[in-house]
Amino acid sequence: MSYDLNPHDAYRRLTFIRKFEEQVLELGKEGHVAGSVHLCLGQEAIPVGAMSVLEPGDKVLATYRGHGWALACGADPLALMAEIAQRADGVNGGRAGSPMLSVPDVGFLGENSIIGAGLPIAAGVAMAQQTRNTGRVVLTSFGDGALNQGGTTEAMVFASTRNLPVIFVCENNGWSEMTPISATTRGEHLARRGQGLGIDSHVVDGQDPVAVADAVKDAAETCRAGNGPVFLEFKTTRLSGHYNKDVQHYRPAEDIDAAQRQDPLLRLREIERIADADAERIETEVAAEIASLAEQVRGMPAPDPSTALEHLYADAATAPQADTTATTKEIPFFRAVNLALQHALDRDDDVLVYGEDVGFAGGIFGVTRGLQKQFGQDRVFDTPISEAAILGSAIGAALEGMRPVVEIMWADFVFVALDQIVNQAANVRYVNRSKMSAPIVIRMQQGVTPGSCAQHSQSIEAILSHIPGIKVGLPATPQDAYAMTLAAIDDPDPVVLIEHRSMYQDTGEVALAGSTETASAAVERRHGDDIAIVTWGAMVASALDAAERLSDNGIEATVLDLRWLRPLDDAAIENVVRRCRRVVVAHQATQTGGFGAELSARISEMQHVDLLHPVIRVGTPDVRMPSAPSLQDALVPTADTIIDAVKRAMTE
Ligand SMILES: Cc1ncc(C[n+]2csc(CCOP(=O)(O)OP(=O)(O)O)c2C)c(N)n1
């Protein structure tokens, strides 16, 4: 933004946020706001001071208590109030409401209703600025309680390691919901956390907009000079309850009194000697302005219910033209992924490839070998062991138009950072009605191999496929490893690609033809009319093996490789079901709640299909995965298990 902070202007800006929030409270009482709102009463000087010195093009990601930040960034107050009241003309069309709103046009990339989750994303936004050498800085604000989130520390470690131009703004109001900071956090100054991570860190009076502005100005200069990040702890106060209906039964009266004595509006009047008459005039003018906004919001319509399904994904793209002059090579699966990444890095400077051990060493399975040497450490790099920071930074970089491809070393590890996929990446397009999107690719490998333990064996595709807003693919051949990786990178939405460790050395013919397809479509690997084996990933080979052996016994099976579980190729499934009328669904994941259950349900819901046998699911029984190969062999489905299931379906 950048504006003059003379005392009267500053007072007007603080008053505007104060009265805006009080009006929101009123609208809530009148029944115009569904759910809760979290007001920034008492904390107004922080956004007002900070945004007076940031420049157009700088970016802000705020705490969920972020109305003041959106206003200070220059958002239209009417559209903002309309969003808080979930109206059609709100900044997010009523999809975000109070705690997730965003106004990217003014550099306000959004609040976050998951405590601390915005910091890794902010680090990624900053990484994009650094990579593109824009000279822009990123400010992310969060509460004192958020500092105790793992992802917060991960983001600071990530930003510190990479010298990212990000200003971490901790708004320390002494409370986390209903719990005082003294009950959860040791030590007086939270800025010491930043220091401990090697970050330039300061404690600042958050009730004085001029002190805030000075601190943020210095921090921005540090970042612009390439010496970021900076951590600023602003001591502030919460003048209201945690949320609009909080009666603060837990809060001592003296704490409330002390907070009121620190009211930034009173402080500014005292420090700058603003005459009572001037202050009152400003307050009257602002009150009239805010009242008029509220009057308009009261009359605004709710969003049209018929639009509720829109903007989950970008509209379907058409498949790209293959390079017909391309060579075909016999290569292993891992090398096929490597060549796809190489192709993407080569043709597009916005592609980044990173993760744990991904850069110099080339990944623990060699998938990214040689890429750092070829494309440099800025584009292919190693990260701290910080999965939330890996995923969140990818989202942030993608918001800025980059195309990050990140690796989660083992699928089992994604659980420590699932928030960044489920609550963050999956929401971006929908909440922003396609004004922002997060086209990231997350690669991971999964499954059972001899000796892999319960924490290195799980097949997690059903968990991820459950999440609307992301896509999930499982390549089963070297050709698909190449083509699906490129399709994922080309895709305008977040994509998870799950490889199976046991397949990395499998070889096959791969046409190195660049992008040839979109992230969609199943493939019939074998044709037969007696029974359909529907499968994906590592079980495709077992299903084909089973089908060949069944053929010797006169049973002709179709093997349908789904390839993508989201989007699911319903037409291909329906086609084989109608033709064969007997279906076995096979996966290596455990049975209950596995993706086979979803397929079985869909098949049972198909109209006018006269199945000759109920769908049979083949999967690992519901148990933890033991490490001993003999125990694993007793559990993991094979071609034999599929043959048994087919025989049951044929005879029972
Ligand atoms: C990951 C996560 N855990 C818990 C919550 C519930 N919650 C919402 S606000 C809040 C308190 C946050 O305190 P702080 O970070 O100090 O911010 P403040 O409320 O003071 O602005 C909590 C625990 C949440 N939204 N996200």
93: tokens are 């069309």
Q: Please choose from 36, 114, 115 the residue to mutate so as to test ligand 1's pocket, defined by most ligand atoms within 8 A of CB.
A: 115
For 486, what's the count of Cα atoms within 13 Å in the CB-facing half-sphere?
Answer: 27
**What's this model's pTM, rounded to 2 decimal places?**
0.98
Mutation test residue for ligand 1: of 36, 38, 176, 245, the one with most atoms within 8 Å of CB: 176
Give residue 319's pLDDT band: very low, low, confident or very high (50, 70, 90).
Answer: confident
Ligand 1 site, residue 154, Cβ cutoff 6 A: no
Distance 438 CA to ligand 1 centre (A): 24
pLDDT of residue 549: 98
pLDDT of residue 96: 98
Instruction: Report pLDDT for 48.
Output: 98
420 lines ligand 1 (CB under 6 A): no
- 64 CA closest ligand 1 atom index: 21
From 177, 237, 251, the mutation candidate for ligand 1 (largest count of ligand atoms within 8 A of CB) is: 177
For 237-300, the DSSP string reads ---S-SSTT---TTS-HHHHHHHHHT-HHHHHHHHTT--HHHHHHHHHHHHHHHHHHHHHHHTP
173 Cβ below 6 A of ligand 1: yes
pLDDT class for 322, splitting at 50, 70, 90? confident
Alpha carbon of 104 to ligand 1 centroid (Å): 24
309/315 Cα distance (integer angstroms): 12
Report the pLDDT value the prediction gives residue 497, as an integer from 0 to 100: 98
Distance CA 47, CA 307 (A): 34
Q: Using a 6 Å cutoff on CB, does residue 65 contact ligand 1?
A: yes
Nearest in space to 270 (alpha carbons), one of 207, 206, 216 = 207
Residue 176 Cβ < 6 Å to ligand 1:
yes
pLDDT of 1 over the 80 cut: no
| CA of 101 relative to ligand 1 center, distance in Å | 16
When pLDDT is averaged across residues 459-478 and rounded to a whole number, the result is 98
Report how far residue 333's alpha carbon sits from residue 433's, in angstroms, rounded to the nearest whole number: 37
AA identity, residue 250: Y
Nearest CA to ligand 1 atom 9: 177
Judge whether 216 and 168 are in contact, CB under 8 Å: no
Helix 77-84 to helix 7-29 angle, to the nearest 10 degrees? 30
**Average pLDDT estimate for 482-499:** 98
Please indicate whether residue 143, judged by its CB atom, sits closer than 6 Å to ligand 1: yes
Q: Which atom of ligand 1 is nearest to the CA of 419?
A: 1
Taking CA 122 as the corner, what is the angle to CA 117 and CA 127, rounded to the nearest 5 degrees? 135
**What's the confidence (pLDDT) of residue 492?**
97
Task: Quote the percentage of the chain above a pLDDT of 90.
Answer: 97
- Whole-number Cα distances in Å, 621 to 98, 520, 546: 44, 29, 20
Q: List active site positions.
A: 456
Radius of gyration of the chain (CA): 28
Q: Is 114 in the pocket of ligand 1 (CB under 6 A)?
A: yes
Query: Is 144 touching ligand 1 by the criterion CB < 6 Å?
Result: yes
Question: Which of these ranges, 97-106, 256-265, 318-327, 599-608, has the smallest mean pLDDT?
Answer: 318-327
Closest ligand 1 atom, residue 147 Cα: 15
Ligand 1 mean position to 166 CA, how many Å? 22
pLDDT average, residue stretch 105-115: 97
Whole-number average pLDDT of the chain: 97
Residue 652: band (very low, low, confident or very high) from pLDDT cuts 50, 70, 90: low
Ligand 1 in reach of 146 Cβ (< 6 A): yes
Report the largest interatomic distance among the alpha carbons of the chain, rounded to a whole angstrom.
97
Please give the distance, rounded to the nearest whole angstrom, from the Cα atom of residue 256 to the centre of ligand 1. 19
Q: Where are the beta strands (DSSP E) in 410-561?
A: 441-446, 471-473, 495-500, 507-511, 523-526, 531-535, 557-561
pLDDT tier at 154, thresholds 50, 70, 90: very high
Q: Is 63 in the pocket of ligand 1 (CB under 6 A)?
A: yes
Give bridge partners of residue 179 from the DSSP assignment. 176
Contact 71, 20 (CB under 8 A): yes
CB 115 near ligand 1, within 6 Å: yes
* Amino acid identity for residue 296 in this structure: Q
Q: Are strands 507-511 and 328-332 parallel, antiparallel or unpaired?
A: antiparallel
If pLDDT is split at 50, 70 and 90, which confidence band does 553 have?
A: very high
d(CA 129, CA 61) in angstroms, rounded, equals 14
Distance 162 CA to ligand 1 centre (A): 28
pLDDT on residue 101: 97
Three-state SS at 510: strand
Residue 408, helix vs strand vs coil: strand
| Ligand 1 center to 88 CA (angstroms) | 28
* pLDDT class of 257 with cuts at 50, 70, 90: very high
Would you say the CB of residue 24 lies under 6 angstroms from ligand 1? no
User: Residue 175 CA: which ligand 1 atom is closest?
Assistant: 20
* Per-residue pLDDT at 545: 98
Angle, CA of 349, 351 and 356, to the nearest 5° = 130
d(C-alpha 75, C-alpha 67), whole Å: 10
Give the atom of ligand 1 at the shortest distance from the alpha carbon of 116: 1
Position in ligand 1 atom list of the atom nearest CA 43: 21
Length of the chain: 652
